[in-house]
Structure 1
Amino acid sequence: MNLKKFSVLLSLSLILIGILSYFSILEGSVKLTNENLKDYIFDGSTGNAGIDLMIKNLRMTRIVGSILVGSAIAVSGLLMQGYFRNPLADPYFMGIASGASLGVVLYTFTSVLFDLGIPHSVYGRIIAAYAGSLIAMFVVINISKVVKQISTLLICGMMISAAISGFSDILVATGSYVDGENSELAGYLSWGMGSISSLTWVQLESMAFLIIPFIILTYLFLSKNLDANLLGENYAVSVGVDTKKFRRLLVLLSCILSSTVVAFAGPIAFVGIVCPIVARLLCGTSKHFFVLPMTALTGIIFVILADILSRPGVLFQATVPLPLLCPLSLLGGPIVIISFLKSKKMRI
């Protein structure tokens, strides 16, 4: 791929993101018009205070949330695939997301059930998610030293993820029973299926503070090392890569990106495995100078589209929105199946 083709691909992706963002503002249980949007952009108000608040604190937050969530989970998946040198590795299937979810649930559970007086804050949730994801990833990495087949490792990762999710559900149910329906844990069952609909500007600022710098730094300083790592450990060592430190860094960065998302939006499935695959197909190469930014943009497109499809009044008439997992699985499932069937032929 040359820079000219890459520039065209980036431009088309950004245009598509703009188009989807436009529909994201207009579509939902309450449909807005072009006039509403034009008045809000150029006059600062639609003339209806309720619609103004909806655009600012619901539709706009969902767009920004989709940008942060999509790019972070997609790049996290790319780093996982680089670590295992296999296109089927993914933060969700390898247990990172479930571990982060358990960390957040435990963080809330201790205060709800034991009244320990632990102060709840935005960064407390993030730190708890980091700790949970790192522990889960530590288990998976040790299993990978024994299990060499990626299919067996994926099954082990999925079983670990399922077990952790089951334990999280037990904690949620227990906390809700002990503390009543108003428990802070009561909303975690829907959160556990992924959602960006309730993100606030304060949460988005915290997410952006962590996600954007790490993605930029990864792109600037790790792209060449990622390329070398894909060619094998011996080649990476021959060009001066400290593979042990590098692989630890990949795990840490992947956990930071995915856990930051999980702390507020819950575990987001399929984005981490689908988007790097699509990005490689679009770029026609595995060079991370091209693949990493396309992976991030593909993740943004994927999440914005899934968020639009999950809203009442778009695909179905209802009062309750679909969990984000539903459209993500419908869109991503076929791609994952095809990738799994062709995994022996695929090179990353």
Structure 2
Amino acid sequence: MSLGREQEMATVRRMKLGSQGLEVSAQGLGCMGMSAFYGPPKPEPDMIALIHRAINSGVTFLDTADSYGPHTNEILIGKTLKGGMREKVELATKFGCSFLDGKIQINGDPAYVRAACEASLKRLDINCIDLYYVHRIDTRVPIEVTMGELKKLVEEGKIKYVGLSEASASTIRRVHAIHPISAVQLEWSLWSRDAEEEIIPTCRELGIGIVVHSPLGQGFLSSGPRMVDKLSNGDFRKLLPKFQPENLEHNKNLYDRVSEMAARKGCTPSQLALAWVYHQGSDVCPIPGTTKIENFNQNIGGLSVKLEPKEMTELEVIASADAVKGDRYGGISTTWKESDTPALSSWKA
């Protein structure tokens, strides 16, 4: 039986994300590519139909951000949730990251935190955000100051749970000491494993859920090198080091070996890559994004792929430290490696 053929055969289990009570579908839906960064925005009716399909299939954990568009992805999600859909989903959005003249702008100032939250609530047309992430860490502002305003928003009922994205282990610890964090969003896949060194152990020590963006390597683990030739001029993946010609030929070997193993398993490469993420633990929730229902159907099939210990070992060998060449972003975006903030004692409001 091919696990790539029937989405209906997969059952989407529920899972606890963190220790504060947030429960989500074990697979989420990353919505960024519907509106931004992966080429031109996709037709709104098609995207609404895709999100409805996801929700009705049991994938109810939706991920967006105010920087996607900017703003247009949140507006799309708001339209999608009309007619009673809001009660069926767990909605995550983010703040603190914007772009000006092609350069990333990070802001964790308390007044900005509040203004961003209010704006997202309006665009989403909701009263409360289920999970609100700090999208990128403002290294000019002590993280305790940013978190203090988020704590107020929780107390006011405007957000339920707080998350961090691209935060260092020390930042996670500092935040968690002020207010419990329900989730840390990070990149983790067969071709991006640096978070395993310190970030993931820290999350597990503190009982924080792990939300995995780009579990398919920005599409590379689904289609391999041929995907690069199909990227539009506005697709930011064209800028990523791993997709550059000097690295792509080397990285092709990873895809080829994953494809070979997937063929033996009777599943697709993307399903195998997602299964590897699922098998990392019950505290891990991947949020693969897509703009096509057929790809969504394929992704959800990854829930049904079972991996034996020897198969996990084989994948560990395939995705060894030297399996991939190229940094994650190459300087076009900040990551957890640059996220430490000043001490609170240095802050002058």
- Do they superpose with TM above 0.5? no
TM-score range, shorter chain: under 0.3
Higher helix share: 1
Q: TM-score, normalised on structure 1?
A: 0.27
**Bigger relative contact order, structure 1 or 2, given CA contacts below 8 A and separation 6+?**
1
Bigger Cα Rg? 1
